[in-house]
C-alpha cells in the first residue's frame, strides 16, 4: 500500500477558512442574533462563520488524506477579472449598470485565450439583460440602467 504525503496547500487553506469563520463569529458576537423569521444583524455573519468553520475543517481534513498537487498559477485570468471588476466599479455610477456590466464581461472574457469577441459580446448582452431584469426591475436596486 502506497502512502502519499499530505496536501499542505489544502490543509492550510482549510485552516485559513476556519480562522476567517471564527473571526466572523467573534466580530458578530455583540450583535443581536434574532430568529430565523426575524433575523438580527448578527444572524448572517454568525451563520456564515459557522459554515466557514465547518467547510474549513472538512477541507483541512481532506488535505491530510488527498495527495499533494503542484500549483499551476495563471496570472492572466486573475488580472483580467480583477481589472474587469475595477472597471465595473468605476463605470457603474457614471455610465450606468448596463454599460458597466458589458465592460466587465468583455474584459473578463479575455481571461480565456480561446474566447471569440462575438461570443463575449453575446455573453455581455445576455448577462446585462438578465442583470437588469433581476437587480433593477425585479429587486428594485436604485442603480441607473444607462447614465447617471
pLDDT in tens, the chain (148 residues): 455 677 788 888 899 999 999 999 999 988 988 888 888 888 999 999 999 999 999 988 888 777 666 667 778 888 999 999 999 999 999 999 999 999 999 999 998 888 888 999 999 999 999 999 999 999 888 889 898 6
Cα 30–chain centre separation: 26
Place of cell 448577462: 127
Give the torsion sign (CA, 15, 19, 21, 25): positive
What is the C-alpha end-to-end distance of the chain, expressed in Å? 66
Cβ contacts of 43 within 8 Å, gap of 6 or more: 33, 34
pTM for the structure as a whole: 0.57
Amino acid at each position: 500500500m502506497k502512502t502519499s504525503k499530505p496536501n499542505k496547500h489544502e490543509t492550510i487553506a482549510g485552516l485559513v477558512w476556519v480562522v476567517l469563520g471564527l473571526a466572523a463569529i467573534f466580530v458578530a458576537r455583540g450583535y443581536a442574533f434574532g430568529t430565523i423569521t426575524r433575523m438580527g444583524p448578527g444572524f448572517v455573519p454568525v451563520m456564515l462563520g459557522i459554515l466557514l468553520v465547518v467547510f474549513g475543517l472538512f477541507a483541512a481534513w481532506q488535505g491530510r488524506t488527498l495527495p499533494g498537487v503542484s500549483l499551476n498559477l495563471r496570472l492572466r485570468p486573475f488580472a483580467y477579472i480583477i481589472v474587469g471588476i475595477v472597471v465595473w466599479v468605476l463605470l457603474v455610477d457614471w455610465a450606468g449598470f448596463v454599460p458597466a456590466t458589458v465592460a466587465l464581461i468583455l474584459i473578463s472574457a479575455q481571461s480565456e485565450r480561446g474566447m471569440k469577441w462575438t461570443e463575449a459580446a453575446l455573453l455581455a448582452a445576455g448577462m446585462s439583460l438578465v442583470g437588469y431584469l433581476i437587480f433593477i426591475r425585479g429587486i428594485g436596486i436604485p442603480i441607473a440602467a444607462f447614465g447617471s
